[in-house]
Every structure is written in C-alpha cells, then in structure tokens.
Amino acid sequence: MKAQGSGLTFKGRELGSDELDVIRDVVGSFKRLSRQELANTICELLDWRRPNGGLKTSEARELLEMLDAAGQIALPAASTRGRPRGSKTKIPLTAAGQAQPEFHAQLREVEPVRLCLVESAEQRRQWRELVERYHPEGCRVPVGAHLRYLVEICCPLPQIVGCLQLSSPAWKMKARDGFIGWSAEGHRSNLQKVVNNSRFLIVPWVHVEHLASRVLGQMARQFPADWERTYGIRPVLLETVVSVEHEGTCYRAANWKAVGETTGRGRMDREHRGAQHARQQVFVYPLERDAIQRLCQEAVPSVEEKSTELPDDNAPDRRELLAEKRRDIGKRYELLKGQLDERGRRCWLGAEALALGRGGLTLVAEACAVNLATVKAGMSEVQHSPIEDKGKTRIRRKGGGRKSIEERMPGIKEELEKLVDPYTRGDPESPLRWTSKSHQHLADELTARGYAISADTVRKLLLKLDYRLKANRKTREGKQHPDRDAQFQYIAQKSREFLDAGDPVISVDTKKKRKSETIKTVAGSTNPKGMPRRSRRTTLVSATPKIG
C-alpha cells in the first residue's frame, strides 16, 4: 500500500479520496457485517473485479486489514470460527501416494503424455498428496488465480507421474521486469498476462529421459486456453524460479530463458529488510512472438473499444457488448470446427474477422483461442486467393507439410525389404530370419542400423511396399490315389453294416513317418500381399496310430 496525496495505490489499483470515503462509510455503517461480507460489499461498490467477472474479495479484505492497522478504519473482530489463520492445511497421506517400484523407459515407449486439468475432489486430493510427499516446497495454498494439472502417461498402463501448478505472477521481480522492460503503467496494466509456474514435479521413481521438457512444452501449448476460459485473460509470458543449487536443465531443454537471479527478499518483504530466503534463478518463456511488445503497451483504449460499432459514452456497456460478441463467435466456432478441414477453419476465422471490421482480428483470435497468425492467414486467403483456386481441395500449398520418411532417410525402404524378405533379397544370416517379423522388431533393427523409426512408421512403409501380416496357407496336399473317393465310400458303407448289426467300429488313422517340413504355424509373418507362406495340411511326424 502506497500513499499518494489524499489517495493511495494498492496492488496496482489507485484509490482516490472519494473511494476511501466510501470504504470508511461502509465499515462505519455496517458494524455487524463480518470482514468477508464487508470485503464483498466494497468490491461490488467499487466494481473491483477479476477479468472473468469474479469479485477480488481476498484483495479487498487485505486492504481493509491494512487500513485497520493504520488506524483509518475500525474493523469488527475477526471471526474465531474455522481453523486459525496461518495454520497449514492437513493433507491426508494414503497408500495410493506411496512410492512405487522404479520405472525406466524411453519417451516413445510411454506416449502419449497427457495433462489432465484438476477439477474433481479426487484429483485435488491426489495432486495435494503427491506434491506434499515429493516436492521440496511441499503443498501450499497458492495466492490468487491458479490452475493445477496431473501428468499422465498412457503406456504400458495409464498412470500419474507428475504434477503442475500455474498461479498468479510475482508482483515485483527485478530480473523479469528488466527482461520485459515495461514502464510502471505497462506493469500495472499487463502484469496479469504473466503466469507463474509455481510447482512442477515428476515423481522420483519414474525415470524417462526428456519427459520433463516434453511436459513443459505441452503445458505451454495447452494451458493458455484453459486459463483464458477460467479467468478471462490470455497469458503471453510464463515465469518460474529455480534454486541456484540446480541447473534448471529441463527448463533450458524446453527453451526457457534464464534472465537473472532473485535477491532473496521474498514477496512479502515490503519493508526492504534484505535477503531472508535463498537466491533463485529466474526463467521466462514467451507464449507469443510479440509477447514483450504486448506487455510493454500502456493502458490505452483497445482496438475493439475504438470500433465505431460500439457505444463511446458508456464503458461498462462497451465491455459487456464485447464479451457477448466473444461468446457468440466462440460458440459458432465450436459448432463448425469439427465439420471443416484445416483450410476451411482458417478461412472461416478470416471471414469473421473481416466482417467485424476494425478490431476483428484480435477479437476472433481471443474468442476462438487461436493464434493471431492463423486468423491473419485466413484473412489473406479469403481476400487474395485466385478465383480458380477457390474450388480446389488442397489444404496446404504444394510442398507444404512434413517431408516423407523416404525423403528424410534415403535407402530405408531397401533396408526394410532386406529384413522382411531375407530369402530373396537379404543376407542369409539376417538377424530376423529366426525371430518374429513384428513391426517393433523391425523398427528396433532399423534403428540399430542408423534409421530412427517407430513401429507405426514401419507398418505404414510395409503397406506402401504391399506387404501384409498373414498366417501360412495350407495348399500343398501331395499326391492323391485315383480311387481315393471310392475308398472312403467303401469304408462308410462297411461302418454302417457293422453298426446296424450292433458291432463296434474302430477308426485307425496312420501317417507315414517323415520330417516336419513346411507345417502350418499359429503366428503370422510379413509377406507380400497375395503370397502367404505355403504349408502342408498334415503336421504329424510320428507313425504312432491314433484310435478314436
């Protein structure tokens, strides 16, 4: 809290003398209200709200208590109900949160990796227990807005392997503020576009190389839409701090940038008493290309607010109209995006932005949670694409997209054919002659030969080469006696005669003793389409007769 003449500034909000008089009048007139109810009332009267419309009750209550401590108001006594203020939440420890057997794997073996937003009571309990047990800082109630995620791997079996927490940024951080270079007005206007990664945990028994950096990258792509949907602000910068005792390797691997160190004062050292905590490294990660420019912008009427379609004399009405437009555009996009391909979605976004006029680009991007560049590309395609191209079905320009594996790894098809068909093309000592020709075995062998490839890509290549996984087909009958059918008819007739007479019939089936050569097997093997491996119908190698 900083005094300015007859007013003051508290957490970026400037309170004039008239607003302070309102606070004094409310507190003096309603002495029977609790501190919580007073804070809610103050927020409603001063329109002190979060971007999502919620009241800033905790901030208002903190302001009231500071004014009370300064002797400017007299608050009612704090309620003694509930747990004592400052006490730590007790987190039950269960058997489900105990350490598991050591798990070692490669990243490709556990994919896909998912981030599950913590929403249910069971998810919250699990998140709190894991962080309390295994994170060095333990589990603490975050200050302000926050989202939590559970990290899940899906193979070999689905299991939770980590936790994430994103929360409100630090009010002041010299290294971060120096990197951004914003003014006091820019800091006040745009601080809430910065989000702090306040907790990150991979449980200690899981050892998967590159998993941590993979999770950080996925978090940066996924959470902005969740944050905007929950709090109404699209973040543009991530921040975090790491103890100087650690290198922050996973953050560096995920392209976060180290911008300096903290002074060790802590966020509550408003009296500048000096270092009371361990120094920490500061890392930042821009979520947009123009993140710094957007954070440095001072509070000016937005592009949308300058639109001639919106009223100029009533700011609350203008904001309400913008919010309604965002909701309508977002609903239309959700209904249509499943029916359109990539180019269709892009052109729809561009058409919406053009129809809205000035400010439509930002409005559509925020409403549909897409990148500004995507909307710009759609606007360009709608405006400048040649008429003859409008009806074509191509989604991307010719040559766009990922290159095929044959282009990236010349010779891989030939190597694969040598492994799959060693009898005709490969080395007689092929390592796969006496093993299963499964996609995974083929992928492992190709990787050992210098071709980094997955089992799924092997499957696709085999389909291109017209190979299929097939079982052997029994087609070789051998020579047949010309009277074979007559013999069986004679046997059947004699059997009926004996059975009619009440005599038993014994059937004896014998085979000539021979080696088991091409016999039918249960497992399949990869062969050219329409060319299964031939085998005999008979598979016995013993001359012992069967009686039945």
Closest to 449 measured CA to CA, from 465, 430, 433: 430
Rounded CA separation 445/447 (Å): 5
Rounded CA separation 471/457 (Å): 22
Q: What is the pLDDT of residues 81-119, one digit of tens each?
A: 666 666 667 788 888 889 899 999 999 999 889 999 999
Query: What's the half-sphere exposure (Cβ side, CA atoms, 13 Å) at 67?
Result: 24
What pairs with residue 243 in β-bridges?
280
Rounded CA separation 409/404 (Å): 9
Confidence of residue 446 (pLDDT cuts 50, 70, 90): confident
DSSP tag of 200: E
In this prediction, residue 162 carries a pLDDT of 95
pTM here is 0.50
Percent residues over pLDDT 90 in the chain? 25
CATH number for the segment(s) 98-296: 3.40.630.30
Closest to 72 measured CA to CA, from 12, 15, 18, 28: 28
Confidence of residue 463 (pLDDT cuts 50, 70, 90): confident
Confidence of residue 37 (pLDDT cuts 50, 70, 90): confident
In this prediction, residue 421 carries a pLDDT of 65
**Whole-number average pLDDT of the chain:** 79
What would the mean pLDDT of 23-35 be, rounded to a whole number? 85
In this prediction, residue 3 carries a pLDDT of 58
Residue 466 has pLDDT above 80, yes or no: no
Q: What is the pLDDT of residues 496-548, one digit of tens each?
A: 788 888 888 887 766 665 555 554 454 555 666 666 665 555 444 444 444 44
Boundaries of every domain in the chain: 2-69, 98-296, 315-389, 405-465, 475-547
In this prediction, residue 311 carries a pLDDT of 43
Rounded CA separation 376/362 (Å): 10
What would the mean pLDDT of 341-370 be, rounded to a whole number? 86
Q: Nearest 5°: phi and psi at 281?
A: -75, 145
Closest to 1 measured CA to CA, from 68, 66, 46, 73: 66
Question: The tokens of 405 are what?
Answer: 């594996």
Residue 33 has pLDDT above 60, yes or no: yes
Closest to 197 measured CA to CA, from 238, 230, 226: 238
Residue 271 has pLDDT above 80, yes or no: no
Q: Which residue has the higher pLDDT, 152 or 278?
A: 152
What pairs with residue 159 in β-bridges?
153
Q: What is the pLDDT of residues 414-428, one digit of tens each?
A: 888 878 765 444 344
Range in 188-202, 329-343, 475-489 with the lowest mean pLDDT: 475-489
